Chains A and B, each alone.
Chain A
């Protein structure tokens, strides 16, 4: 059973460019959440997707957008990249009806903006 997979693993972009990160959730999961983790900090919630719609959003600007596909996979798009967007971007999947607090995380995409 494949866990959460993210691609690419590493990415280098230039300021002002746009980037798309991809995530495939754990088999059987229907909800995908995205997090940004700066160096030395804990992950910060960006948004979550369920039934192809953004359901909750953290304190991130509109430059951050996403999409969820019918097969539950998801994309995170960041426009007009800033140096401060350099971080590890994590995708987590869960099952909406689950009453627990366990989410499954991917290994992340390390984004470097130069």
Chain B
């Protein structure tokens, strides 16, 4: 599976839009890009999944350029409760049963 690289940490302020970029240079044709969120002492929670272009749900947007070698998770108007670790994963279709996590990005939202 393609290795992902994302920033170790990011700080933001309440109300701002946060963009977390992930690189996955060796992504394969049938790989999806998936993001999970994890709060301390809780299990990860699925945020969004995409294959190409743009995907939006009630929580976030995911932007994927045509070459798919990177992706950007966008969180609109963050609040203090968005402080968490965000993981970018590259996963084959149907691979929810065996996910490969990196170290993630610690997002800290400041008042």
Contact = CB atoms under 8 A, between A and B. Distances in A.
Contacts of B97: 31, 33, 48, 50, 55-56, 92, 94, 96, 103
Interface string A95-114: 01111111111111010000
Contact of B101 (A43, A91, A100): A43
Contacts of B102: 42
Interface stretch (B12-20, B41-49, B76-84): B41-49
Q: Is the interface of B mostly helix, strand, loop or mixed?
A: loop
A56 to B, nearest CB: 5
B98 A42 contact: no
* Chain B contact patch, size range: 20 to 34
A101 B34 contact: yes
* Chain A contact patch, size range: 20 to 34
Interface stretch (B21-29, B63-71, B85-93): B85-93
Interface of B: 32, 34, 41-46, 49, 87, 89, 91-104
